[in-house]
Each structure stands twice: as structure tokens, then as C-alpha cells.
Structure 1
Amino acid sequence: MNEKMRHLESKPSTSSLKLSIISLTAVTLVAFLMRMLSYASVTANGSITFTGYDDFYHMRRILYTASNFPHSLNFDSYLNYPYGFEIGWPPFFDLLGGLLAKVLGGGQPDLHTIEFAGALLPVLLGILTIIPLYIAASSVFDRKTGLLGAFIFAVLPAHVSISRFGAVDHHVAETLLSTAAYAFFILALKWAKDGSFSLTSLKTIYSEKKLVKSLAFAGASGLCLALLIFTWIGAPIFASFIVLYALIQTTINLKAGKNSDYLLICSIACLFSTLLFTIPLSAGSLRSGLEMSAMHLSWFQVFYVFSLLAGTFILWGFSLYISKKGMNWKYYPGILILVLGAGLLSLRIVSVESYAFVFEGINFFLGKGEYIGTISEALPLFLDAQGNLYLSPVLAAFGFCFPAALAALFLLGLEWKGENSKPEGVFFLLWTVFFAYLAISQRRFSYLFAVNVSILTAYLLWVLLESLNFETEARKLIKSGQTTGKNTMPVLQTGKETKLKAKSKQKMNNGSGLKKGQDPDYFKLVSSLLLFGLIFIPCIWMGSVIAKSTGSIDPEWQDSLRWLRTSTPETSYYLEPSETPEYGVLSWWDYGNWIVYLSRRPAISNNFQTGVQDSALFFTTDSEQEGKAIMEKLKVKYVIVDKLMASGKFGAIVELAGKNIENYVDIKTVNGEGGFETSATAKKGFLNTEIYKLYELDGTNLGNLRLVHESTAEKDDVKKNSVKVFEFVPGAKLSGTSIPSQLVTATLELSSNTGRKFTYQNKAVSDKNGSFEIIVPYSTENMAGGVNVSSAYSLNAGENITISGIQVTESDILKGNRVEVNLSKVN
């Protein structure tokens, strides 16, 4: 009898498990389809166009790793040209991309296979995140919340945007590994608490399965944290959260008179595992010596985790002392704050560099830094660049899930207050507050907060659905449909007896197929469906819009970079970038990764903010000599500018040049039809800048830069962001004599590769002897497929002195030859 009862009790559990597996499979399919909506736009024209800026450098590393597996690219001579740059990104994400490429390519992948693997990797990692999310939600709440939270996460735009096909960035790996680390830690807490984990229980741990499972889950959490450190340079902050939680939970336990051994043992096991795995994972990337750098994988990460581990032992020691002495619980946080202050002071004395790294990291997460203010994705979630309230980012990332999550957080705070708190619940709430702060301070961290928002929204939705008796009413509706279906069958049969029986049953069920009082409440059902719609429809709509959106690189840049790769001298060492290439390309840092990957040319500045100072000074200078000196110092051969650099990005360029925007534009706020509007009027200072002369004047008044290509128009013949490529050349010297102190102007008519006609001019004033020299960058010999001349040079000195038909060869331009012209003999 007992065996039979046990068998019957196990059936619902087995059935529930099967339902969970089926539901998770459905969630995975939905998540996969959402993230593959970008496939058409990413693979348009038979090639793969990635969706972001950093994606292109990740692809460079994946390309290198696939060719040199398992080695990763740690130093790149194509960055920060001509000095090269040591890459701070840890290599795990790119190693995964290289491994996937090797698998898909049968060990010898071609370029298309490598790019496809890189584009597919975020989709796979994004889908995998569903598993730890479900585990965390089910452990803190229940399976229903876990499943619904997984469905919300599958379509939430904040995560779809970083895990769609073609979004080759390590952010998706951060989300997966942080969620997995915290889900495992929650499981460790649950098993430890249920198994009454304590110091004495460690002696007989092998006989306690729950305690063994707890340590195993804590170890798995540590492994995930180590992999996270191997993925993102800012990852130690996620390990710090374990110690922060241990401090707060121990304080709660002391106040309630509870034991905290289980908590601190789990924390120590987790951090010890992190330390053990961090050392071998980082060993291959460590530089020689005992360097301590937070910007690269070094002994700093090992030392940091060791410090966290030591700090947890201190937490434990103080908690035991206060508990044994019966002291007031308030002493505990007070003493620990003093210990923390003493620790920071000691760190400053022992290693000023490590002390600086700690505060640089804190400033980074506070959204402060030299370059952070110029990065749009680092802006606060609710503010625009001018500091005005701006709701579009939060609605685009979360839809109505954000206010739902805030309401759920408030309800949980009330529900788990005081004696009702549970360790895993406190951990989840602190985890949520931590990630909420990151997302609100810098909108780019919305992808991390997406996990918590999904779970909280699912919790609130179930609270509302239960208040509407949704499950009960849904069962009634299903049962009503089944009963109605059965009652219609006898009507189709023949025979008097069957019809009478059917008629009798219908009377007994009041014609509804159900007993009295069992009719579904359609108001509650419709209300429940409206709640689902309110949550899911905006997310699905916005998620699909984001997934289908085209990549960050527009056709104008693609055209120009394609030309740069095929029509300029090839540089060396692209696939083995340990030696210095022949020349570099100067543009704004936003476009550096595009230049390196798509053009396969070295970039002066790129998205690591390398070479930013020189680039900013070049584009804002009003001195041709200063601009030339910068190009010669950096061995620049090509300069690329676009419309945005001469408009929307110009403010950031000025800021990073250390100059005042008010010297270049007059900014006023006026009351327009749509309210207050900001208008900017160019001043003389802007008209004299290098960026204005290049973009707006096609290089007029510059002697060493010539236009060699401008981007072609799109299919509708409307250019959205014209891109112009200039070549830096020695230039020919038109020299001679004229009237003393006379303005001499050289003029040349040209047409670009698009057929657009423009005029080049450069000027000089003759000296007291009448001598002048004008440097010109264009030859009068037409070059195939490029910018063509429509006439020879003409020189004008005053109203009545003009000479035309001056020929300048390409050799003159490239060798800096002197071309003599005597205006003094011209009448």
C-alpha cells in the first residue's frame, strides 16, 4: 500500500517535470525565432554585416583565433597606429567564437563560415541564458514564475538586442555567466539552509547529500564567476556582490538571532572556487612579472578575488565573536566599515596603483570617466545627453515590464519583510537592486537587468492572474469546451435511446455542459488576456523592430571602406599583427573598428579610445601646419570624414580635444512650434577647422590632402551620411614671382568618382620680393576610377594677372617637386 501511495505521489511530479521541459522547449524556440529575425538584414547581398561597433573587433579576434586556435589576439599593431595596442578584453567570448567556427568549418573554416559562426554565437548564448534564469526564478519563487519569466525574457528587447543574429559582442556572455553564477549560488543557499549547514556538519559532510550538493553548487557558481572574469574586465564586481550579500544577510541573521554558518561557508566555497579557476584560466594571458593591472588580465584579478575570500573569513570571524559575546548586532556593520576603511588605507600604502584601480572601477560603474560622457550608451537610462528627462530608452528596452518590475519589487519588499525574509529572497532582491543601479546609471547595462525584470514581471503577473482566478477560470473554459464537444457527439448518432440519454444529460447540466456555478467567468478571462497583451505585445513588437533593424554601419561607410580595401596599397601583417604596418588611417574613434576589419587597414584611433587626443586635435585645429605635423608623426596616408563628424559628433570631438564648444558654435535655446528647441550657429572658429575644410570644402585651402573617393548614393539617390576619403601627399609646389605682397590663388576644376563637380583652391601671399609658393595635392593627370580633373591649374594674382594651363604630374605630387610659374611677366 505504501509503495502504491509513493507511486501515485511521484506521478504529479513527473508530469509537472515533463510540462516544464515542454514549456522550456517552446520558450527556447520562441527565443531562437526572435533572435533570428535579424538574419535577413545581416546577410543581405550575400555577405554578413554585423550590428554594432565593437562587433567588428570581436570578429577580428574570432578570425585570428579560428586561424590560430586556441591562441587569442592580445596585441594588435593595427590599433593605436603606429604604436600598436595591448587589448584589454579577456578572450573567452572570442575563444568560443573561434571554437564554433572550427566546429562548423570541420577544422578548416573559410571566412564566410567564421563570420557566420560569430554571428550565430550570441543567439546560442542568449538562448542558454534561459536555463539559469528559470532555475533562479523557480528556486526563489516557483516553476510557474520561472516559466513565465523565461517567456518574457525570450522576447524582452533589452536582451534581444544583444543576442540577435549578428550582434557579436561579449555582453551576451556576461548575462549568461552572471545569471548562471547567481542561480547556482541561490541553489547552494537553499540546500545549505535545508541541510542545516554548520561548522560541525563539515566533519560528516559526505553522509549529508544536501550539504554536498550545496558545496557543489557553490563551486559551480565560482566557476561561472571565473569564466566571467575571463570574459569581461569589469567582472570582479560580480564576485564582490557575493561578499556584499554575505555582509547584509549576516547582519539580518544576527539581528534575528540566527546562525550564519551556512551562508559564510557557501560564500567561501564560491570565492575559493573562483580563485582556483581564475589562476589557470588567466595564466595564458598574464604578462611577464607580477604586474597588477585592472585593465588587462593580470595578477590583479587573482589578488582581488583572494582579498574577497579573506574578507569573507573576516566577516565570519566577527559574526562568531559578536554572537558568542551576545553583543548588539549593530556593532557588526560598524566594525566592518572600519575594517574596510583600514583595508583601503593599507592598500594605498602598499600599492598606490592597485588603490587607483579600485577607484577607477568604482568611477566606471558610477558613470564617470574621461571618455564615458561622450559615449551615448553610457548615458543614464532616463536622461539624454543634455540632462533632460528621456523615457524612450527605458520603453524601448523593457516596454511596460519596467514599471511592472518596480511594482513587483515593492510588493516583495513588503512580503519578505522581517521574519518572512529568506536568504535566497534577500539575495534576489539585492541582485535586482544592484543590476537596477547599473542600468539606471548607464543604459548599456540594461541587458543585465533584463533577467531581473523578466522574473519580477512574471511574479507580478501571476499575483494579478491569481487575483482573477485565471487558472481556475481557464480550466473551466477547457472543461466547458471538452464537455460541449462530448455532448454534440450523440446528436450525430442514430437511435431513440441515445438521443434520450443526451437530452437527459443536457437537462442535468443546465444546458452548459457543466454543473451549476462552474461556468467560466469571461470577464476575468478577458482581463487576464489583456494583462498578457499589455506585457507581451509591446515587447514582441519592439523586440522584432530591434531584431530586424539594420546594422550600425550604413551603406555609405560600407562603400567607402570597400573602396579603401580594394583601391589603396595593401598593408602587411594583418593576420599576424606583431609588426608595424606601412601606414595608418585617421578618422574619428567611432569608426576605427570598421576600418580595421572591413578595410584591413591600421587605425589611428578606434573604439578602445586609442589615439583619441591626436584625432581630436587634428580635426579641430585651424593650423594646416599643426595638422600636417600630426599626420607625419602618426604616418597617416588616408583621412576619412563624414557628415556626422562635421555636425552631431563635433561636440564630442571638441570636448576630447580639451577645447570649448562655444569657440566654434553659438548655441541658443529658442521657443519653437514643438516647445523649446536648441539651435547651433557656426562661428568663424568652426569654419577654420580641419573637419570643416575637409567635409564641407572638399579640402580647399589644404595643400597636402586630396579627395580620392566619396561614398556613392543609395538606391533612392539620397545620401544619409556622405563619407569622404582623402589621401595625404607631399604635394607639388607651384612657385614663382609676382607683385610683392600679392594674394596668389591656384584653382583647379575637378569631378569626384560620383560625377559631382567641385573646385579646389589654395592661396598664398607673395613676399616683399614677390616670391610665392603654393602647395597643391592634385595632379592634372586623370586617375582611373577616382577623382578626375576638368582642366589644368590656373593662377590668379589680382584682377588682371591670370595664367592657365599649368600642368602638374602625379610624380610631381608624390615627390613634392617644384613647378615654376612666373606671374611677373604676365600682363
Structure 2
Amino acid sequence: MPPKSKQLTSNYKLGIISILAIIAVAFLIRMLTYASLTADGGITFTGYDDYYHMRRILYTVSSFPHSLNFDTYLNYPYGFEVGWPPFFDLLGALLAIIIGGGQPDTHTVEFAGALLPVLLGVLTVIPVYVVAASVFDKKTGLLGAFVFATLPAHVYISRFGAADHHVAEVLLSTAAYALFILAIKLAGEKNLTLSSLKNISSDKNLINPLGLAAASGIFFSLIIFTWVGGPVFISFIGLYALVQRTIDLKAGKESDYLFICSVITLLATLLFTIPFAAGEIRPGLEMSAMYLSWFQVVYVLIMLAGLFLLWGFSIYVSKKEMDWKYYPGVLILILVSGLFLVRIFSVEYYGFIVEGLRFFSGKGEYIGTISEAVPLFLTSQGKLTFSSVLGSFGLTFLAALAGLFLFVLELKGEKAKPEGVFFLLWTLFYAYLALSQRRFTYLFAVNISILTAYILWVLLESLDFETEAKKLVKPENKTEKVPDSSLKRGKKAGSKTKFKNRQATESKNTSAEPDYFKLVSGVALIGLVFVPSIWFGVSFSKDPASIDPEWKDSLNWLEASTPATSYYLDPTETPEYGVLSWWDYGNWIVYIGKRPAVSNNFQTGVEDSANFFISNSEEEAKTIMDKLNVKYVITDTQMAKGKFGSIVELAGKEIGDYYNVSTVQEKTGLRTVATAKQAYMDTEIYKLYEIDGIGLGNLRLVHESSPNTTEDENSSGNTVKVFEYVKGAILSGTTAPNATVIAKLEVSSNTGREFLYQNGAMADENGSFEITVPYSTENTGEGVHATSAYSLTAGENSTIEGIQVTENDIQNGTRIEVNIPQNEAENEE
């Protein structure tokens, strides 16, 4: 084998080994959460949506390949049509079936769901390398892949237990863009034109860019099948085509390669979207951007039509030798006019477009209450913060900014290659998404990694780091034989030539000693990039789960100790009752508690939930529970504290109605102090969480989470309380007219905490009173139970004790007559 071929083979093997090593590192980092998430023998997942994905994966395993599209366990009692496309859950079910040998049990399904994001995340390393190597070079590709493998923003969504579709978005979009970049790069190099397509049968090299463009389209169709926001990735192809054609027109270049590849990509997207979505598309001709429907098919058709418009108008501009500035100007005008026409002829379709733009810009009815949807550099209170960007990118964000600046400078003029322009627009697009909503940092991680690798290589090469590192590995001096060109020509070298050769040899000998300043500087640069990223990535393994032990304890109790509901794995009929809590916890209730949720993380039922928790009337609260057929209500510390502002906002109220907010000066600076008003103490959430339902006749505490032992011994941590909605027994009778009657009962919770339940009523003019009470006095010794009988007091000394109430009385709303002698009450008055 010739030396050059051997070198190429050696480089190829080294490249493969390097990629495999990077994949191994990526896998190990993402598996660090395994130990903590499986410590109790089961599998805990890391987020909120993860639990609904697992519900869908479980369903798909039992009904493969069909997915769960309508779920009666959501938005109880009405049910909810799930807008998530099914591809991620289909992959999870398929992986579970493979691992489980065709019949996986629940634990195997959960393991497959927890492992899937790791596998998809590791696979993303490959298209990241392809993009970086195509836009820059192979060294940048390898380093960029390594940066990506350790970048916290992507590790976070691809670690073991993060069973959410975001990791699939990154893989599929990066793969689609990587293939498209290869297609336009190769098409440009092969000078692909419309006329050259006639020779495609004889020139096989022309097939390659067309095949790559078609493969890109397949990945775009898979994105549509993965996320309802998928069309935005496809829109970028149209944007790029407009910008690139404008650049080519300005430079006087042809753009056949660009439009051929773009059309092939979108045509492949269309052809594969139709069969992929055929089994999932809604009935009829309904158009919806929130579900898989004919909307996605029509959208791709519009993009294709737009490309032909771009193409046709560019040909017209070229033939008429018009100023290139007319091209983008006229097309932008056409686009704006088109939107105006859409608004006139289809308000619904226009609404989809506007709502999509609002979503990606961080606007919307409920987005403002989602912490991960706030801008990257702002807190939910609107204050400047750098914690999110540091937690997502470490110091690579600053490095990438420097890389972007240098890259823009290099793209000027003749160096503006199509692949470079594509990558720049892609970076700016993702930067906008991440800056608008911090949750999109997982998408921006690809561009951050590549730009960081680019600037890092530039700096390392300026330090000759690679050369100096080789000297450190092989420090022995070697005198290289300097070829004498004059000998090759058969001439004897003169003394001047000999001196130069000797000087060169001496120079090579002296330079064999490594420059430690350059080595230390290079290592410092590498450390600044990788150490913070790896540190943040590893930190995820220490506290990976979003569900705290208190919620898990309470939901396990809910599943084991409350009446089971029907149709859990066949949610085609309405279950027997629902559970009311805040929407953040709905997916947990459905998956862990296996009970229907009124509101969940799709923001279903939020208005009813919000109105219930801020209600200041038990009758109003009961009306909501009766309408929704609620049997259990769950509260926690966050709902009564940190999440209360969101509850108030979604109920259409102002936080100032419930709290006096003021700013006080302290030694450490200004501090905001919120003091509760009486209006807050009248709310249902306060009565349930803070005072255990005292004053309520139809809701009783049935379980509270055990204190969090990892917290300070004086703190109860995030206490979760479960209340049951019951008819309640009615203590009725007579006493002195207009007297205040108080019913009291000593209660012990399942944690051993004791409290005094009481409820009261005022007797009417005839002395008649009624008090509804929710607890029985039958002491079972388990769970929440009474430790005394009821007592009724009218005044300070008019008390009747020893009133017994059975569980049947509570469940059937039995009336129990208890008369308080009028003379005792009158004497008291």
C-alpha cells in the first residue's frame, strides 16, 4: 500500500476510534443518574412530562403500534385529546418489546423508557460531528462532538430517566440539517444544475447530493411525527433558501444546486409525512397545528410552493439583470401580503400561525406561568440572572460568542460558502429561541458546542499546542534529513546552501524541547471549557429527580389505599371519580397514583382548579367538585406558597388582593416582604393546607406525607396533604336562638401529628342549627383517625360531649340529632 494510502487509512481508523471514545464518554455521563433513580428498586423519572410519556409507552406496548390519542384520565371528567405526535413513545415501546423479548413487564418498560433518551442523546454526537466537520474541518468536528457530549444543556435532557421527546427533537433536527448541509455542499462542488440532471444516469456522483437531500426530508418528516412544533424546523429551509439565493445573486452566481436540494428535501418530507401520519390524522378534513392533521401536509405543500416562487422570481431577476436588492424586498412583501390574505380568507389558519409565533417568542395564555419558558437571562420576576446560562452551558457560552464573532468575520465576501451561511442562520435562529425561552437551550447546545470547538482550535493552533504536546510525548531530539533540492537537479550545493541546511537542522534540534508556557496555556483553555460543563453535568446525578419523596409517598398511598378507577390501560370510558390538584402535578397523579386528574401538565382544567383553590366559599368549592365529580383533593407547600401567584393569575385575580407587598431596607440590601391579607386566609388552599380543613364540612384529611428527613429537623419540607370529599354527617339540633355552636374533634394524622378539627354554625331565630362534619369517630388505629368523640359547644359552658359518628354516617350524609338545652346556652349568654 502506498504511504499516502496508509496515512489515509490510519487517519480514518483514528477518527472512528475518536468518535467511539466520545460516544462512550457521552454514554457514561448520561448514565450517572442510574444509581439514584433506581435506588428503591423501581425507576424514578426526572421530570413532569416524563410520566405522561411513560403512560403512553405503557399503552403502546399493550396496543403496539397504536398510540394513546384520547385519554379519559386527563381533563377529568371530559377527557382530552393528546396533541403529542407518537414517534418518541413508539420508539420507547419498541425498545421495551425488544428488551423484554416481546412480552415486557412494567419494570422492563420503565427501564426502556428511562434508557431511550440516553441512546438518542448518544446518537446525536454523530450528526454534530458531521455538521462541524462539514462547516469547518474534522478536528473541529471531533472537538465539537466532545464538547457536546459533556454540555449540561443536552446532558440534562438525555440522561437516564429523562423520558421526554426533547432529546428526539435534537437528534432528528440535527441529523436533518447535517444531511442538508452535506447535500448543498456536495451539490455545489459537483456543480449540480438542472441541465446536469439529464446526465444523472451516466454521472453517478450527481445521485449523492440528491440522496442526501431526500434523507434530510425523511428526518424532517420524523420531526413532524415527534413534536407539534416540528414545522418550524422545516420553515428554516425556506428562510435559508431566500438568504442564500440573495447572496448568490449579489455575487452573480447560479443557485440551481440550492433549489434542487431544497425541493428534493421538502418533497421527501411531504411524501413521508403522509404515510407516517395517516394512522394518526384526525377524522375529516380538520386542520389543527396542535395535533397531527392535514395542517402539516398543507404546510409542507405551501413551503414547496414558496420554494418554486423563490426559484422563479430569482430567474426573472437574473434575466432582467435587476438589482439583487429587489429579490428579498419583493419576496418579503409577498410574504406579508400572503399573511394578510390568509387572515382574510382563513381566520383559523391565520390563528395557527400567530399562535405558533407567540409560542416560540415566549408569549401565550399559560406560558407566563411556566418557569422554563422565561427568557434565558431573566428570572420569573423579571430580574437579570446568569444562573440559567451557566447551568446550561458553563463557560462555553462566552467561548461560543467569541467563535460566532470570528466566524461572521470569516464569512464576509468570497468566503461565504453555502454551508457556512446555513450554519450561521441556524445558530442565530436557535439563539433567538433560547434567549426567548430558556427551555430551548437544549436545541442551542449543538451550535454552542461547534462554535466553542471552533474558537478553541483557533486559540490552540495559535499556541502550537498540538505540536508542543507531541514534543512532550516524544521528547527525544531527532535530526530531520533536509532534502537538498540542488542534489535532485544533479548540482552540488554551494556553501550558502549548506549553511542554510545546517541552520535549519540546528533549529529543528533546539525546537524539540516543548514550550511549557504554550502547553500550560492550552491546558488552561481546555479546562475553562470542559471543567465547568463536566461539573454541572455530573451534578445532575446527585439530585436528578423532580418528584420529591413526599409526593411519591402520597401518590403511592393514593394508588394503594383509595378505590381503584377503571379503564386505566383502556381509557375509552369515563372513570368513576377524579383527583383535583394543581396542573403541575397532574401527570404524576395519573401515572404514579393511577387516578384521573382534573388538570395536568397540558394545562387542562386549570381554570376550575385555580377557581377552586382561591374560592372563599365552601359552597362554591363544592359546586366545582360536584361538577367535576372530584373525590380527592391534593395540596402541598408550593401551592400554598410559591405557586400561589400562578394560581391567582390563572384565576384572573391579582396577587395584591391576597398579599400586601412591601420593600424593606436591611443590612444586606432591599428585601421584598409579603404579608398575607384576610382574603388569603379565606381561600380554600389556605384552609386545606395551613389549617387541615378546619371550618370545612365536606373535606377531610386522609393522608399527609412523612416529614422529609433530609431537611432540617424543625422543617417539614414539602408536605403533601390528601383530602377526601365526603357527604359528611350532619350534627343538627336546637339550642338558644342565635347562639354560635362549635363542633370539635381531636384527630391524629398518619404521621402521628395531632390537631383539633372544628367547624361551627350559628343557630337561627328558632335555635335550630346544622353542622356538617367529615370525620368518623371509629378509631381504626390506621392512617388519619379521630382520637376522641365529637363535642358540641354553645357558649363557654354549654357543652355536650361523647357524640359518636360512624363511617356510614359520613359517607351517607346521616343526620344526627344533638340538642343543647336552651337554658344552659341562655345562661351562658
| TM-score class normalised by the smaller sequence | over 0.9
- Confirm or deny that 1:608 pairs with 2:602: yes
1:808 Cα offset (Å): 1.0
The answer to whether the 8 A contact 1:803-1:826 is kept is no
In 1, the alpha carbon distance for the partners of 2:301 and 2:780 equals 64
The answer to whether the 8 A contact 1:732-1:777 is kept is yes
Q: In structure 2, what is the equivalent of residue 202 of structure 1? A: 197
Q: In structure 1, what is the equivalent of residue 64 of structure 2? A: 69
Q: In structure 2, what is the equivalent of residue 664 of structure 1? A: 658
In 2, the alpha carbon distance for the partners of 1:47 and 1:706 equals 31
In 2, the alpha carbon distance for the partners of 1:458 and 1:738 equals 83
Q: Deviation per CA, 1:274-324, whole angstroms, max 9, x where unpaired? A: 111111111110111001000000000000011001000000000000001
The amino acid of 2:279's aligned partner reads G
Q: In structure 1, what is the equivalent of residue 749 of structure 2? A: 752
The amino acid of 1:523's aligned partner reads F
Matching residue within 305, 316, 326 for 1:321: 316
1:350 Cα offset (Å): 2.9
Q: In structure 1, what is the equivalent of residue 623 of structure 2? A: 629
1:606 Cα offset (Å): 0.3
In 2, the alpha carbon distance for the partners of 1:548 and 1:200 equals 60
Structure 1: gaps spanning 5 or more residues: 485-507
In 1, the alpha carbon distance for the partners of 2:28 and 2:665 equals 46
Single out whichever of 31-40 and 332-341 deviates more from structure 2.
332-341
Structure 2: gaps spanning 5 or more residues: 480-501, 825-829
- Confirm or deny that 1:819 pairs with 2:816: yes
Matching residue within 10, 13, 18 for 2:8: 13
Q: In structure 2, what is the equivalent of residue 541 of structure 1? A: 535
Q: In structure 2, what is the equivalent of residue 345 of structure 1? A: 340
Q: In structure 2, what is the equivalent of residue 137 of structure 1? A: 132
1:149 Cα offset (Å): 0.5
- Confirm or deny that 1:246 pairs with 2:241: yes
- Confirm or deny that 1:775 pairs with 2:769: no
- Confirm or deny that 1:237 pairs with 2:229: no
1:482 Cα offset (Å): 8.9
Q: In structure 2, what is the equivalent of residue 491 of structure 1? A: none
The alpha-carbon distance between structure 1 residues 782 and 220, as it changes in their structure 2 partners (threshold 3 A), is: same
Q: In structure 2, what is the equivalent of residue 498 of structure 1? A: none
Matching residue within 731, 736, 742 for 2:733: 736
- Confirm or deny that 1:161 pairs with 2:156: yes
In 1, the alpha carbon distance for the partners of 2:512 and 2:557 equals 73
- Percent identity for Structure 1 against Structure 2: 67
Q: Deviation per CA, 1:691-715, whole angstroms, max 9, x where unpaired? A: 0000011000111000000101234
Q: In structure 2, what is the equivalent of residue 360 of structure 1? A: 355
In 2, the alpha carbon distance for the partners of 1:580 and 1:521 equals 75
In 2, the alpha carbon distance for the partners of 1:72 and 1:481 equals 65
The amino acid of 1:17's aligned partner reads Y
- Confirm or deny that 1:294 pairs with 2:289: yes
Q: In structure 1, what is the equivalent of residue 489 of structure 2? A: none
The answer to whether the 8 A contact 1:192-1:210 is kept is no
CA RMSD across the alignment = 1.6
Q: In structure 1, what is the equivalent of residue 23 of structure 2? A: 28
In 2, the alpha carbon distance for the partners of 1:517 and 1:285 equals 67
1:757 Cα offset (Å): 0.4
Matching residue within 54, 76, 90 for 1:59: 54
The amino acid of 1:286's aligned partner reads I
- Confirm or deny that 1:800 pairs with 2:794: no
In 2, the alpha carbon distance for the partners of 1:679 and 1:542 equals 32
Secondary structure of the residue aligned to 2:808 is helix
1:804 Cα offset (Å): 1.0
The amino acid of 2:83's aligned partner reads G
The answer to whether the 8 A contact 1:638-1:726 is kept is yes
- Confirm or deny that 1:392 pairs with 2:395: no
The alpha-carbon distance between structure 1 residues 814 and 194, as it changes in their structure 2 partners (threshold 3 A), is: same
Q: In structure 1, what is the equivalent of residue 186 of structure 2? A: 191
1:579 Cα offset (Å): 0.5
Q: In structure 2, what is the equivalent of residue 712 of structure 1? A: 706
The answer to whether the 8 A contact 1:292-1:300 is kept is yes
- Confirm or deny that 1:673 pairs with 2:663: no
Secondary structure of the residue aligned to 1:319 is helix
The amino acid of 1:565's aligned partner reads E
The answer to whether the 8 A contact 2:180-2:216 is kept is yes
1:209 Cα offset (Å): 3.0
1:205 Cα offset (Å): 1.9
Secondary structure of the residue aligned to 1:805 is strand
Q: Deviation per CA, 1:148-185, whole angstroms, max 9, x where unpaired? A: 00111111000000000000000000000000000000
In 2, the alpha carbon distance for the partners of 1:232 and 1:170 equals 8
Structure 2 counterparts to residues 340-489 of structure 1, below 5 A: 340-480=335-475
The amino acid of 1:661's aligned partner reads I
The answer to whether the 8 A contact 2:792-2:801 is kept is yes
In 1, the alpha carbon distance for the partners of 2:528 and 2:204 equals 44
1:742 Cα offset (Å): 1.4
- Confirm or deny that 1:638 pairs with 2:632: yes
In 1, the alpha carbon distance for the partners of 2:513 and 2:58 equals 63
1:737 Cα offset (Å): 1.0
Single out whichever of 232-241 and 807-816 deviates more from structure 2.
807-816
1:784 Cα offset (Å): 4.8
Q: In structure 1, what is the equivalent of residue 761 of structure 2? A: 764
In 2, the alpha carbon distance for the partners of 1:336 and 1:695 equals 59
In 2, the alpha carbon distance for the partners of 1:480 and 1:800 equals 99
The alpha-carbon distance between structure 1 residues 446 and 265, as it changes in their structure 2 partners (threshold 3 A), is: same
Secondary structure of the residue aligned to 2:752 is coil
The answer to whether the 8 A contact 2:708-2:718 is kept is no
In 2, the alpha carbon distance for the partners of 1:357 and 1:294 equals 6
The answer to whether the 8 A contact 1:604-1:610 is kept is yes
In 1, the alpha carbon distance for the partners of 2:664 and 2:201 equals 75
In 2, the alpha carbon distance for the partners of 1:424 and 1:260 equals 13
Secondary structure of the residue aligned to 1:218 is helix
The answer to whether the 8 A contact 1:160-1:547 is kept is no
1:49 Cα offset (Å): 0.4
- Confirm or deny that 1:695 pairs with 2:692: no
In 1, the alpha carbon distance for the partners of 2:472 and 2:65 equals 57
Secondary structure of the residue aligned to 1:547 is coil
The alpha-carbon distance between structure 1 residues 458 and 808, as it changes in their structure 2 partners (threshold 3 A), is: same
In 2, the alpha carbon distance for the partners of 1:481 and 1:25 equals 31
The answer to whether the 8 A contact 1:480-1:514 is kept is no
Single out whichever of 593-602 and 762-771 deviates more from structure 2.
762-771
Q: In structure 1, what is the equivalent of residue 490 of structure 2? A: none
In 2, the alpha carbon distance for the partners of 1:101 and 1:784 equals 43
In 2, the alpha carbon distance for the partners of 1:169 and 1:310 equals 34
The answer to whether the 8 A contact 2:477-2:509 is kept is no
In 2, the alpha carbon distance for the partners of 1:182 and 1:466 equals 28
Single out whichever of 708-717 and 404-413 deviates more from structure 2.
708-717
The answer to whether the 8 A contact 2:191-2:257 is kept is yes
Q: In structure 1, what is the equivalent of residue 574 of structure 2? A: 580
Q: Deviation per CA, 1:556-615, whole angstroms, max 9, x where unpaired? A: 011100000000000000010110000000000000000000010000000000000000
Q: Deviation per CA, 1:698-755, whole angstroms, max 9, x where unpaired? A: 0001110000001012345653100000000001111111111111111111110111
Q: In structure 2, what is the equivalent of residue 568 of structure 1? A: 562
Q: In structure 2, what is the equivalent of residue 648 of structure 1? A: 642
The answer to whether the 8 A contact 1:153-1:159 is kept is yes
